[in-house]
Structures are given as C-alpha cells and as structure tokens.
Amino acid sequence: MGGIGWLPLRMGVVMGGRIGFGTSLGFGFRLGGFALDIGMMNRGFVSPQNSKGLVVAMEMGLGLH
C-alpha cells in the first residue's frame, strides 16, 4: 500500500441490525512489532444534530516474532 504502510487508515458504514445506521473512521500505527489502532463510530447520521451516540475503541499490541 503506497508510501504510508505504517499508518493504516480505515473508514466504514454500518446499515441495519441493532445499531441501525452509522459511520466510522479510524487509523493505526505499525512500527516494527508495535501496533496501535484507534477508531470512532457515530451512531445515527453523520451530522451531530442527528447522532445517537459515539463509540470509541483502542487496541494496542506487540508482535513477538
């Protein structure tokens, strides 16, 4: 992937289920065996006036190869 393989970017859309509609954004860092991922999902529509909540997640790991 291009010139920024150490900085993966993510984007997604949720439709249906218990959540209904939502959009998500995230990014991560991959430096050697260290990994840090951070993501945010907005429940409801994209604009803050129509939002039903915000979900934030973080994951950190260390690969011991």
Exposure of 52 in the CB half-sphere (CA atoms within 13 A) = 9
pLDDT digits (tens, 9 = 90+) for 52-65: 788 899 999 998 86
Q: Which pLDDT does position 58 carry in this prediction?
A: 94
CB neighbours of residue 46 within 10 Å? 11
Structure tokens at 28: 């991560």
Q: Which pLDDT does position 26 carry in this prediction?
A: 93
pLDDT digits (tens, 9 = 90+) for 9-64: 889 988 877 767 888 899 998 888 888 999 998 887 666 676 778 889 999 999 88
Task: Judge whether residue 4 has pLDDT over 50.
Answer: yes
